[in-house]
Amino acid sequence: MSDTAVTAVAANRRNAPDRRVMPIAAISTSAIAFIGDFFEWFGNLGIFFWRVLRAGLTPPYECRELIRQLDEVGSKSLPLVALAGSAIGVVISLEARYSLSRFGAKSMFPATLVYSVIQVMGPIITGLVVSGRVGAGIGAELASMKVTEQIDAIEASAINPYRLLAATRILACILMLPLLTIAADACGLLTGWFAQALVEPLSFHQFVESGFKGATLNAFLPPTLKTMVYGFIIGLIACFQGMRTRGGAEGVGRAATNSVVLGSLFLMLADVVLVKFILVVFP
């Protein structure tokens, strides 16, 4: 398909030597190159995923490395995620109090806070924080292993690096993100309530009671579990960027940056689809 597009551009050049057409041709050539690169990247990502999946699903299972990664992704991200969740809780609390009192709907405060934190902000903030910390970490670690031939050394030792390095890290991200999200939610609710309680008397018990009144598991479980998809995206892209790195220290830096940038970007794009999906499936 891109072949015909390229020949079309070439034909365009031959038929119209007019100067004014040239920039358009140049732009379309670079656009085609960009689209070509993008599809190539995506294709390679698909092949990479297939390799990891096949390696991860067949024995030997690398349990020791998985546990190490669960600790690396989970426990070590916890303080950061808790902090980010707490901050968001306060922000939402302040905003909600202001807007709700303008519309005279102050009694809605607990429910507003609960729903904004658990359904919207908790998951995405956790995703972005983990993408920054873990995505960059995995990207840089694997990239530096790649450029110093350590990944080749693993392979030469008859160990499948897709199984040992990639499958474990991706699975750790998938398993840990929902748990981290719950932690962020809890911190957010706590600080949100606290910020409110400083201004107006509101016991924690009252807050929880009215915040969760009439709520079903359907309202809270899907938004939390969707973060498994975030984890998958963060882990997959970071491992992919890391393990395809070339070219020394600069390549390592690029891999770390790309892991974060692409991971966060695809995470937010996926969120658009996920939110719609959840609204349709769990009304």
Give the C-alpha separation, 240 to 51, whole Å.
11
Part of the chain binding other proteins (CB under 8 A), chosen from 8-16, 55-63, 78-86, 167-175 = 55-63
Residue 58 in contact with other proteins, rule: CB under 8 A: yes
Nearer to other proteins, 95 or 149 (CB): 149
Residue 191 in contact with other proteins, rule: CB under 8 A: no
Q: Residues 11, 16, 105, 159: which binds other proteins (CB under 8 A)? A: 159
* Count of chain residues binding other proteins (CB under 8 A): 19
Q: What is the 3-state secondary structure (H, E, C) of the chain?
A: CHHHHHHHHHHHHHHCCCCCHHHHHHHHHHHHHHHHHHHHHHHHHHHHHHHHHHHHHCCCCCHHHHHHHHHHHHHCCHHHHHHHHHHHHHHHHHHHHHHHHHCCCHHHHHHHHHHHHHHHHHHHHHHHHHHHHHHHHHHHHHHHHHHCCHHHHHHHCCCCHHHHHHHHHHHHHHHHHHHHHHHHHHHHHHHHHHHHHHHCCCCHHHHHHHHCCCCCHHHHHHHHHCHHHHHHHHHHHHHHHHHCCCCHHHHHHHHHHHHHHHHHHHHHHHHHHHHHHHHHHCC
Give the C-alpha separation, 151 to 128, whole Å.
28
Residue 155 in contact with other proteins, rule: CB under 8 A: yes
For residue 69, the minimal CB distance to other proteins (Å) is 13
For residue 169, the minimal CB distance to other proteins (Å) is 14
Part of the chain binding other proteins (CB under 8 A), chosen from 33-41, 123-131, 143-151, 213-221 = 143-151
Amino acid at position 273, single letter: V
| Positions in 60-99 near other proteins (CB under 8 A) | 60
For residue 73, the minimal CB distance to other proteins (Å) is 16
Part of the chain binding other proteins (CB under 8 A), chosen from 17-25, 41-49, 151-159, 169-177 = 151-159
Q: Residues 75, 99, 148, 203: which binds other proteins (CB under 8 A)? A: 148
For residue 160, the minimal CB distance to other proteins (Å) is 5
Nearer to other proteins, 63 or 272 (CB): 63
Residue 152 in contact with other proteins, rule: CB under 8 A: yes
Q: Which residues bind other proteins (CB under 8 A)?
A: 51, 55, 58, 60, 144-145, 148-150, 152-160, 162
